[in-house]
Amino acid sequence: MSGLRRGFATYTVRVAQFQAAQADTVIAPSLLAADFARLAEAAEAVDGAVDWLHVDVMDNHFVPNLTLGPPVVKALKAATAIPLDCHLMIEDPARWAVGYAELGAYNVTFHAEACDDPVAVAKDLRAAGSKAGLAIDRDTPVEDYLEILPEFDMLLIMTIKAGFGGQSFIPELLDKVRTARTHASSGHLDLRIEVDGGIADDTIAAAAEAGADAFVAGTAVYGAADPADAARRLRARADAARSSA
């Protein structure tokens, strides 16, 4: 083989390795926008078209809203095989988060603002068999948490102020996604970056280009006439933006 051809072969392998290293796009519809009296049907409506179900747990203390807790997560776990992506907007996650892992949540994400020792909670979550996610709200700088990211499987960056669905996406918050993705890539971290809030047909590409690879969408999925179709459309837009980024 000539030097040139050998060089090209090496290049081709490297490109393939790079492509293999990019994690698949995750689409996670938020049940917050579904009919709470029909959650099992809401799960079924997107089965096969999505990767995770995003479950927003709000305690009326960390955020003013109040949603659901362990009994509903337990019922959901029994009702669907779609992995549950639990987003805890609650105080004292050190006390409560591990319970969601024990119920079989695939991923448990808690807020940095609510916790003195996020690394300890991440260790408990992993020991209990779930992935560990760290969330940062609208006004929290990402720089404060870059050093502890190796302890986490996911970083959730709010693209609204946590608490309610149906709010408008804040594009400036994608700077945090860029910072986190650059940090994760340079440190070779295996880190998902999830964006949550106002993700829809007209915003998902910008989030994907910034470096997000997991996308929560409430209104854009459950507000659509065909939630599975809406989820597929979001995935296509994210995949296109990620492959051209």
Residue 198 binds which entry of Zn ion, ligand DX5, none, CB below 5-8 Å type-dependent? ligand DX5
Nearest to ligand DX5 of 56, 153 (CB atom): 56
Identify what 217 binds: Zn ion, ligand DX5, none; CB under 5 to 8 Å per kind: ligand DX5
Q: Which residue has the tokens 């918050």?
A: 173
Asked if 214 is part of the footprint of ligand DX5 (rule: CB under 6 A), the reply reads no
Catalytic residue flag (residue 196):
yes
Contact 161, 185 (CB under 8 A): no
194 is an interface residue for Zn ion by CB under 5 A:
no
- 117 belongs to the catalytic site: no
- From the number of C-beta atoms within 10 Å of its C-beta (0-12, 13-18, 19+), residue 101 rates as buried
Residues 45-104 that bind ligand DX5 (CB under 6 A): 54, 56, 87
Residue 197 partner contact from ligand DX5, Zn ion, none using kind-dependent CB cut-offs of 5 to 8 Å: ligand DX5
DSSP string of 94-157? HHHHHHHHHTT-SEEEEEGGG-S-HHHHHHHHHHTTSEEEEEE-TTS-SGGGGGGGGG-SEEEE
Region from 98-106, 110-118, 140-148, 195-203 binding Zn ion, contact rule CB under 5 A: 195-203
Burial of residue 10 (CB within 10 Å: 0-12, 13-18, 19+) is exposed
Binding site for Zn ion (CB under 5 A): 56, 87, 196
The residues that are catalytic are: 56, 196
Residue numbers belonging to the annotated binding site for a divalent metal cation = 54, 56, 87, 196
